[in-house]
Structure 1
Amino acid sequence: MSLKLSEEDIFLFHQGTNYESHSMLGCHRIKYKQEEGYRFVVWAPHASAVSVAGDFNDWDWESHSLSRLNDTGLWGNFFKDVPSGAAYKYAIKNENGWSGLKADPFARQSELKPATASITPFDSEEYNWKDQDWQKKKKLKPSYETPINIYEVHFGTWKQKEDGSHYTYEEMADLLIPYVKEMGYTHIELMPLAEHPFDLSWGYQITGYFSVTSRFGTPNQFKFFVDQCHQAGIGVIMDWVPGHFCKDDHGLRMFDGQPLFEYADEQKAEKPSWGTLTFDFGRPEIQSFLVSNAIFWLKDCHVDGIRVDAVASMLYLNFDRKDAPDKLYNSYGGEENLEALAFLRKLNEAVFAYDEHVLMMAEDSSDVPLVTSPTYTGGLGFNYKWNMGWMNDMLKYMEYDSYYRKWHHNLLTFSFMYTFSENFVLPLSHDEVVHGKKALVNKMPGDQWQQFAQLRLLYGYKMAHPGKKLLFMGGEFGQYAEWKDQEGLDWLLLDYPLHAAMKKYVSSLNHLYKNESALHELDHDEKGFEWVDPHNSEQSIIVFQRNSKTQKDQLIIVCNFTPAVHYDYKIGVSQPGTYEEIFNSDAAAYGGSDQLNGKEHFSFPEQWHSRPQHIRIKVPPFAVCVFKQTKSDRRKEEESS
C-alpha cells in the first residue's frame, strides 16, 4: 500500500471500527516522496474509474486520475500540482459510463452555496486552541450534578446585519457569547452547521458532514467561535443528523452510480415525507463514516456535546411508512431497525471511549426504554434524552383556558411518573414555534398580561421540574411571531416593557437555577424530588420540593395555574423554622402584579400535607414562587420528633 496509508486503518475502515477515518479518507496535505502536495482518497466500490476534477485543471474529468488501492473500493493518488483552497469534485465512472461529479464526503471545507464543490485544505489549517482551562474544569464534576441550561440557536437568524446578510463566526463570537453569558445560560446548542445546500432545511439535510458550512466563514473561524465560548465558560452542543441525508446530485446519493451510503432496498432507504434517504446502518464503512464524523466534531472542533436528531426515525423501519401497503419487518418479526440500534450503541461506546465527559443527547420521540442506560445493560448508551412527552403535555395543558385546567390536571403531573426513568432534558425547541404552531407566548390563553404571566409560569415550572433545560432563541423575550427561518429575531420588541421584563425574568430564573444546587444537583435521582401536594386540581395549584445533597438547600416550589390569588394558603414543611420567598415570577420587575410574600414565614406546629409543620403564604396569580428555609428551630424540631 502506498500514499502513506496504514494497512490497519484501511482494515478497520472496512470493519466499521475506524473511528477517525476522516484522517485517512478525503483530501490531506502531506509530504510524499520528498514532495509537498495533496493526497486524495475516496471510497467508491462500484466505480471503474475515479479522478479529481477542479478549477486547477479546468474541470477535466480524466487528467488527475486515482488508482484503485484495494479490492474493497478505495481509490487514491498524490498530486503536487493541486493548490490550496482549490475547488474540486470526484468524477466517478462505472459500468454505465461517467456517473457525474461528487463532492468529497470527507471534505473539511466547501464552496459557498449555491456552488457545491469541495475545497482543498489551506496550508495553515491548524488552529491554536486556548480553552485548556475549560477542558479541565468540565471534568471536575459529573454533568448530571451540574446545571445544564441550553440556549438553542439557529446561527443564520439569531441576528442579521441591516442588509440581511449573515454575521461571521468571529462576529457572532462578539455578539452571541456575551448575551448568553449575561442571560445565565450554560450551553449554546447550534442547529446543524455541517454543509447543506438548502437554507430552509435548517441544516438537517446535509451534503458535507465533515465540512463546517461556509455560510459564516472558514473552519478555523468556527473553531475560534467555539474557543471563545469555552473561554467565557459556555459549552457548545452541535445538532447532528445521522439518520438521513439529502438527495442533491453532488451529495451522497448514488455516490458511485449505485446505492452506497443509503440502503440498496428502496423501501428501507426512502423517507418520503422528508424527501431524504436513510443511511445503510448495517454497512461497516457507513458505521466508520458516521462515528468518525461524531468524533470529528468533538475532537477537531472541540464541541462539548452532540444532540442526535430524529432518533425515532432511525429506530423503526416503518417510521415514515405509515400508509405503505407493505410493512417492513426485521428478522425477528418486529418493526425495529436492528442495524440502527446496533449502530447507536456502537456510536455511544466509541464516543465515551474517546471522552467520558461528552454530552450525548437523543432527540427521541419514541417510547423505547433504556435510551440513557449503558449499552452493557441493554441500553442505547446516551447520557441524556429529550423529554418530548413532558413538552407535549405541558404545551397542551397551557393552551387550555385556566378554568378548564382542573379537568386536565393529569397533564401537569403525569411526567413525574416517569421523570427518573431516563436522564431527561426538558426542551422548548424550534420545533414548537414553526409551521403554524404559534410562538410560545401566543399559545397562552387570555389577554396580553395573562399571556406573559403564564409564559413566566411555564418557564418557572420547567426550571423547577427535574431535568436539564433547553429554550429556543426568541423565547426568552416572548417573541410574538413564530420563528422566521430567513430573518433575524424581533429584537425591536425589547423596546416594549413586557418583552424587556420577560428577558429580565428569564435571566433571573437562569441565574437562580445555576445558583441553587437543589434545582440541578439531583436532577436524575429520586431523592432530588418530593411531592408536597399534587392533588389540588380544583384550584390548579401544585406544590413540590427539590432537594440537593445538603438539607439546608432544599426548596419549596409553588405553582398556580389560574389567575386567582390565595391568601393564608397552607404549605406543609418538614422542618420547623423560618422560610423566605427567594423567587416570585409575579414580581413587578418581571411584568407581574407584585403579589409578593414577605421575607419571613414562621412554620406552625400543625400537620399539613402529611408533614409535621406548615407555613402560610400568599399564592400569586399565574405564578411560580420559591421558598427556602433560612433559620431552623431546633426546639420545635425536637418537639416534633
Structure 2
Amino acid sequence: MSKVLAHSLLTDFDINLFKSGNHYKLYEKLGSHICERAGVKGTYFAVWAPSAQQVSVVGNFNHWQDGEHKLNVRWDSSGIWEGFIPDIGHGEIYKYKIHATHNGFVTEKADPYARRAEHPPQTASVVYKTNHTWNDKKWMDKRHKHNGLDAPISVYELHLGSWRRKQEEGNRGLSYSELATTLVDYVKKLNFTHVEFMPIMEYPYDPSWGYQVTGYFAPTSRFGYPEELMTLIDALHASDIGVILDWVPSHFPEDPHGLGNFDGTACYEHPDKKKGYHQDWKSLIFNYERNEVRSFLISNAMFWLEQYHVDGLRVDAVASMLYLDYSREDGEWEPNDQGGRENLAVISLLKELNEALYGAFPDIQIIAEESTSFPMVSRPVFSGGLGFGMKWMMGWMHDTLNYFKRDAIYRNHHHNEISFSMTYGFTENFMLPLSHDEVVYGKGSILGRMPGDEWQRFANLRLLYTYMYTHPGAKLLFMGSEFGQGTEWNFQDQLDWYVLDYEIHSNMQKAFAAINGLYTSTPTLYEKQFDPEGFEWIAHDDSKNAVLSYLRKGNDPKTLIVCVFNMTPVPREDYRIGVPFFGRFREIFNSDALEFSGTGAYKNVDLTVIAEGWNGKTHSTSITVPPLSGVIFELKAD
C-alpha cells in the first residue's frame, strides 16, 4: 500500500479558475490541510510545480528521505501535485523535495501556501491549523465607519521587532501577545485610529525588515504563533483601532527554500530578466502574465483580509511594478506591445485585485505606495482607475521635508514648496506619509532634519505635525517620530524610549497626541479630506512673512477650521486674516503652548470678527501667530 493515498480538495471548477487566473481562495485548496480520508486522520498536501518530474513530501516523519512520500501529479495539466499522508498532523515540519524534468535538478522548497514556518534561520514549513475564536464582531460590524474616506484615518506605522524590546532577555522583540497590551494602550493614548505593520509575512533576513518574503501565508514565527497575532488584532479592534498590513507583491528573494526557480524553472518569477529581476533589490519579480501567479497573489491578499480580519493592505513598491523601465537604463527593458513603458499585465492585475478585494470586503482600504504621476491610482476601475482606495502623497512628503530642513531665514524664498501640494492635492485620495523610508540610510530622524537650536528644532517639529494633521488627506507617521526621537531608526534595537525622561521629548509626545486628537475628533478636518470642497486658501502667497493660512470645511457649512502657520522664529502680532462670514472665533490649538515646551507667551483670546474684507474674504480678524508655530481656530456662524 502506498504511503501517499489518492485524495483531492480540488474540483474541476477550482482547476479552471486557477488556470484562468481567477481563483481567489487558493489557500483553501493548496498547501497542507489536516483532514480525514475514509475515517483515517492525516494531512492532504498540494503544490503547484508544473515542470517537476517528481515531488515528495519530506520531514521528520520520514527522516527527510526523498521518495518515501511521493505526491501524484494531476491528470488535468494543471501542474499540481497532491496526495494524502496518514498520521501526519498539526505541528509536523516539512518541505517539498522536487526533481525537475531537466538536468537532474533537485531542490527542497518550503510550501508557498504554508500557514506557519519554522523560526528563522530554520526554513521548513509547519503543518498548522489555527485555533482562534474571534471576538471582534462589534468592530467588524461597524468598521466601515472607521475605514471610510469620510472618517479620520491616522496611522501609526511600526516595525514589530524594534518598537520595544526585552533588553533584559537578550534584547528580544516583544511577542504578539505582549504587544496586545503594551502597543494597544500606547496607540490609543496617542489618538491613532489605525496601526500599520511593516511586513509580518515570514521572511528569512532581518535587515530586509520583512520586505523579502518567503512565506506569504505565514505570519513570521519571530513573534509567536498565528493565534497570538490574531489575539493582537482582536485587542486592537476591541479598542477601535484598525489594522493595516504591508503587502509585497512586487518582488521576492532568491533564497533556496523560497519561490525562486521553484520547480527548476522560472515558476513564480518572470523568465526574462528584463521583467523578472530587480537590480536594485537583488530579488525576483513575479510573472504577472502567468495566470497561476495572478491567482496566487490575489489569493494571498484575500487570505489576510479573511483569515486575519485585517482592515487594509498597503501595497508596497507599486511604481516598480507599473513601469517596465523602473530603475533600468536603455537596453535593460523592452516596451510593451503598444510601444509604451507601462507593464500592461500589472495594470490589469491591480485592477482585478482591487475589484476582487473590495467586492468581498467593501469596508476595507487598499493603499498604494506609488511615487510617480501615474494617473487615477485611487479612482474606481469602472471609471478607468486602478481601483485603490488611497495613494501615498510622496510629493507632499519630499517637498515638506525639504522645506522644513531649511533655515527659517531662507524659507520666504521657498514658499512655493510648502503651498505647492494643493495644486494637485485632490487628484487622488492621498495619504500623507512620514514613513520608515524617511528615517533610514543616513537620512537621520525627522527631528534631526529640523534646523536651529534645540528649542527651534522642537518648535519646528510641532509646527510640521500641526501642518500635516490639518492638511487634507489621511495621515501616517512612523514610530518614534511622535516623541521626537533624535537618532536614525535601527531595526536591531528598540526605540529610544529613554528620551521620554526629558521634558522636551515628553512634551513633544503630548503635543503630538493633542494635534492627532484634534484631527480625529474634529469632523471638519476629515469629513471632506479628499474633496476640494473641504479646503480653501486664505493666503498662500504671504512669502514675505512666510505665513501660510487656509480654511478646512466639513459637512456643517456654519463651522470652519482656520489654520495659520508661522514658518519663522519671528512672532506675527496683529496679523490680519480674512474669513468668509461673521461668527464666534476661538483658538482651539496652539503648538506654542507652554505644556508642549513652547513659549506660552502668545495666546489668542477675545477675538472679534469684523465686517472688513481681507484676503478676498468679506470679513476678517486680527490674530497673533507665535514663532515657529501653528495655530488652529474654530469659526462658528452665529
Aligned equivalent of 1:68, options 73, 96, 110? 73
Deviation, structure 1 residue 140: 4.3
Deviation, structure 1 residue 630: 4.8
Partner of 2:452: 446
Partner of 1:134: 139
Decide whether the 8 Å contact of 2:34 with 2:89 is kept in 1. Answer: no
User: What CA distance in whole angstroms lies between the structure 1 residues aligned with 2:637 and 2:8?
Assistant: 73
User: What CA distance in whole angstroms lies between the structure 1 residues aligned with 2:120 and 2:443?
Assistant: 30
Answer yes or no: is 1:224 the counterpart of 2:220.
no
Q: Give SS of 1:427's match.
A: strand
Answer yes or no: is 1:525 the counterpart of 2:522.
no
The equivalences for 1:296-335 within 5 A come to: 296-322=303-329, 324-335=330-341
Deviation, structure 1 residue 578: 2.8
Partner of 2:430: 424
User: What CA distance in whole angstroms lies between the structure 1 residues aligned with 2:268 and 2:160?
Assistant: 28
Q: Deviations over 1:555-614 (max 9, x none)?
A: 100011000101111011111133110100000100111133233211122111111111
What percentage of residue pairs aligned between the two structures are identical? 44
Deviation, structure 1 residue 326: 4.1
Partner of 2:155: 150
Cα–Cα, structure 1 residues 437 and 603, in superposed 2: closer, same or farther, change >3 Å? same
Deviation, structure 1 residue 170: 0.5
Deviation, structure 1 residue 139: 2.5
Answer yes or no: is 1:209 the counterpart of 2:221.
no
Partner of 1:568: 574
Deviation, structure 1 residue 80: 1.0
Partner of 1:286: 293
Partner of 1:171: 178
Partner of 2:3: none
Deviation, structure 1 residue 55: 1.1
Partner of 1:29: 34
Q: Unaligned stretches of 5+ in structure 2?
A: 1-5
Deviation, structure 1 residue 316: 0.6
User: What CA distance in whole angstroms lies between the structure 2 residues aligned with 1:456 and 1:205?
Assistant: 35
The equivalences for 1:496-575 within 5 A come to: 496-575=502-581
The 10-residue stretch of structure 1 (62-71 or 300-309) with the greater mean CA deviation from structure 2: 62-71
Q: Give SS of 2:422's match.
A: helix
The equivalences for 1:537-616 within 5 A come to: 537-616=543-622
User: What CA distance in whole angstroms lies between the structure 2 residues aligned with 1:352 and 1:631?
Assistant: 40
User: What CA distance in whole angstroms lies between the structure 1 residues aligned with 2:149 and 2:541?
Assistant: 29
Q: Give SS of 1:400's match.
A: coil
Q: Give SS of 2:22's match.
A: coil
Answer yes or no: is 1:378 the counterpart of 2:421.
no
Answer yes or no: is 1:109 the counterpart of 2:116.
yes
Amino acid at match of 1:210: F
Q: Deviations over 1:257-309 (max 9, x none)?
A: 01010001122111011010100001000010000000000000000000000
User: What CA distance in whole angstroms lies between the structure 1 residues aligned with 2:64 and 2:602?
Assistant: 72
The 10-residue stretch of structure 1 (586-595 or 105-114) with the greater mean CA deviation from structure 2: 586-595
Q: Deviations over 1:137-175 (max 9, x none)?
A: 112476111000000010000000023012110111111
Amino acid at match of 1:176: L
Q: Give SS of 2:432's match.
A: strand
User: What CA distance in whole angstroms lies between the structure 2 residues aligned with 1:339 and 1:62?
Assistant: 38
The equivalences for 1:339-350 within 5 A come to: 339-350=345-356
The 10-residue stretch of structure 1 (431-440 or 70-79) with the greater mean CA deviation from structure 2: 70-79
Answer yes or no: is 1:402 the counterpart of 2:408.
yes
Answer yes or no: is 1:240 the counterpart of 2:247.
yes
User: What CA distance in whole angstroms lies between the structure 1 residues aligned with 2:352 and 2:455?
Assistant: 50
The 10-residue stretch of structure 1 (242-251 or 608-617) with the greater mean CA deviation from structure 2: 608-617
Decide whether the 8 Å contact of 1:287 with 1:343 is kept in 2. Answer: yes
Q: Deviations over 1:214-250 (max 9, x none)?
A: 0000111111110111011100000000000000000
Amino acid at match of 2:115: R
Aligned equivalent of 2:375, options 369, 390, 395? 369
User: What CA distance in whole angstroms lies between the structure 1 residues aligned with 2:145 and 2:496?
Assistant: 39
The 10-residue stretch of structure 1 (149-158 or 547-556) with the greater mean CA deviation from structure 2: 547-556
Deviation, structure 1 residue 3: 2.0
Partner of 1:181: 188
User: What CA distance in whole angstroms lies between the structure 2 residues aligned with 1:518 and 1:68?
Assistant: 60
Partner of 1:256: 263
User: What CA distance in whole angstroms lies between the structure 2 residues aligned with 1:277 and 1:598?
Assistant: 58
Partner of 1:494: 500
Amino acid at match of 1:385: K
Q: Give SS of 2:161's match.
A: coil
Decide whether the 8 Å contact of 2:155 with 2:192 is kept in 1. Answer: yes
The 10-residue stretch of structure 1 (487-496 or 604-613) with the greater mean CA deviation from structure 2: 604-613
Cα–Cα, structure 1 residues 308 and 142, in superposed 2: closer, same or farther, change >3 Å? closer
User: What CA distance in whole angstroms lies between the structure 2 residues aligned with 1:73 and 1:190?
Assistant: 35
Decide whether the 8 Å contact of 2:318 with 2:370 is kept in 1. Answer: yes
Answer yes or no: is 1:190 the counterpart of 2:197.
yes
Deviation, structure 1 residue 14: 1.1
Decide whether the 8 Å contact of 1:205 with 1:245 is kept in 2. Answer: yes
Amino acid at match of 2:441: H
Q: Give SS of 2:182's match.
A: helix
Amino acid at match of 2:301: A
Deviation, structure 1 residue 127: 1.4
Q: Give SS of 1:17's match.
A: coil
User: What CA distance in whole angstroms lies between the structure 2 residues aligned with 1:217 and 1:258?
Assistant: 34
Q: Deviations over 1:418-472 (max 9, x none)?
A: 1110000000000000000110011011111100000110110000100000000
The 10-residue stretch of structure 1 (126-135 or 2-11) with the greater mean CA deviation from structure 2: 2-11
Decide whether the 8 Å contact of 1:595 with 1:618 is kept in 2. Answer: no
Decide whether the 8 Å contact of 1:4 with 1:32 is kept in 2. Answer: no
Deviation, structure 1 residue 98: 4.4
Q: Give SS of 1:48's match.
A: strand
Deviation, structure 1 residue 629: 2.2
Partner of 1:393: 399
Amino acid at match of 2:283: T
The 10-residue stretch of structure 1 (590-599 or 39-48) with the greater mean CA deviation from structure 2: 590-599
User: What CA distance in whole angstroms lies between the structure 1 residues aligned with 2:559 and 2:217?
Assistant: 45
Answer yes or no: is 1:55 the counterpart of 2:60.
yes
Amino acid at match of 1:49: Q
Q: Give SS of 1:579's match.
A: strand
Q: Unaligned stretches of 5+ in structure 1?
A: 633-641
Q: Give SS of 2:464's match.
A: helix
Amino acid at match of 1:588: L
Partner of 2:357: 351
Cα–Cα, structure 1 residues 326 and 488, in superposed 2: closer, same or farther, change >3 Å? closer
The 10-residue stretch of structure 1 (593-602 or 147-156) with the greater mean CA deviation from structure 2: 593-602
User: What CA distance in whole angstroms lies between the structure 1 residues aligned with 2:9 and 2:186?
Assistant: 47
The 10-residue stretch of structure 1 (577-586 or 238-247) with the greater mean CA deviation from structure 2: 577-586
Aligned equivalent of 2:43, options 38, 47, 53? 38
Deviation, structure 1 residue 477: 0.3
Amino acid at match of 1:52: V
User: What CA distance in whole angstroms lies between the structure 2 residues aligned with 1:485 and 1:139?
Assistant: 34
User: What CA distance in whole angstroms lies between the structure 1 residues aligned with 2:632 and 2:261?
Assistant: 58
Amino acid at match of 1:59: W
Aligned equivalent of 1:99, options 82, 102, 106? 106
User: What CA distance in whole angstroms lies between the structure 1 residues aligned with 2:332 and 2:63?
Assistant: 49
Q: Deviations over 1:512-537 (max 9, x none)?
A: 01111111110011110000111101
Amino acid at match of 2:299: S
